[in-house]
């Protein structure tokens, strides 16, 4: 039980819903409902759990690969965020319910997972958290699995909180605001992609 709680705490610390996925989750929660926001958060939590697994199992080859190709992965993530931001701005529909089907939810999950998995800095954050809590990858398979489950739960709690908060906000606004949400979310994601590009390029100089 203590292993799970330790993972839960680490997940809540490392999984604060800031950045592109946070904006994406709020945008989808407002436009398509709470379920869409939760599915978006689920994609991010799975990505975080992957990186937590790298740290918990001490998978040095994967960690070395992510470190070696961090620049390329960050650029890929930046282009993904930029493309999504532009698509939001170009959308002219105000309240489209067509995405509420299985394939739509899969796309929501995969896009959030894609943004999360192209952030290799996350594995460094989890490794540091594990280091300071005495986790070094030598505790065994079962220990690591329970720990990762705790991390997943900790990150996912944030998405439930965020989508619930967004649902409260949604009730106070008219449906006409939804088109502005698309444009605002797009602008935020474009700004975040530019910041990511600047940071990545600055490391090369």
C-alpha span between 142 and 144 (Å, rounded): 5
Residue 159: both structure tokens together? 């998405």
User: What is the torsional sign of CA 95, 99, 101, 107?
Assistant: negative
The DSSP code for 178 is: H
Q: What is the dihedral of CA 157, 163, 167, 172, to 10 degrees?
A: 110
Instruction: Give 78's contacts (C-beta < 8 A, 6+ positions apart).
Output: 193, 196, 197, 200
pLDDT (tens place) for every residue of the chain, 205 residues total: 788 888 898 888 887 776 778 888 888 888 788 889 999 999 999 998 988 888 777 666 666 666 677 778 778 878 888 887 787 777 655 445 444 555 588 889 998 998 888 876 676 777 777 777 666 556 677 888 888 899 999 999 999 998 988 888 776 665 556 667 667 777 887 887 888 788 778 877 6
User: Per residue in 21-66, pLDDT tens?
Assistant: 888 888 888 878 888 999 999 999 999 898 888 877 766 666 666 6
pTM for the predicted model, two decimal places: 0.74
Residue 166: both structure tokens together? 């967004």
C-alpha span between 31 and 175 (Å, rounded): 9
């Amino acid at each position: 039980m203590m292993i799970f709680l330790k993972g839960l705490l680490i997940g809540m610390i490392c999984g604060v819903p800031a950045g592109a996925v946070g904006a994406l989750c709020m945008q989808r929660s407002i436009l398509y409902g709470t379920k869409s926001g939760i599915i978006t958060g689920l994609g991010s939590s799975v990505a975080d759990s992957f990186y937590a697994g790298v740290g918990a199992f001490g998978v040095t080859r994967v960690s070395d690969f992510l470190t070696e190709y961090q620049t390329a992965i960050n650029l890929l993530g930046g282009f993904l965020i930029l493309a999504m931001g532009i698509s939001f701005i170009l959308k002219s529909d105000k309240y489209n319910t067509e995405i509420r089907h299985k394939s739509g939810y899969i796309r929501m999950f995969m896009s959030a997972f894609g943004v999360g998995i192209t952030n290799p800095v996350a594995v460094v954050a989890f490794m540091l958290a594990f280091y300071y809590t005495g986790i070094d990858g030598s505790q065994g398979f079962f220990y690591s699995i329970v720990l990762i489950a705790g991390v997943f739960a900790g990150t996912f709690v944030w998405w439930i909180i965020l989508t619930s908060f967004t649902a409260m906000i949604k009730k106070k606004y008219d449906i006409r605001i939804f088109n502005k949400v698309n444009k605002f979310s797009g602008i935020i994601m474009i700004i975040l992609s530019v910041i990511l590009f600047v940071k990545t390029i600055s490391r090369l100089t």
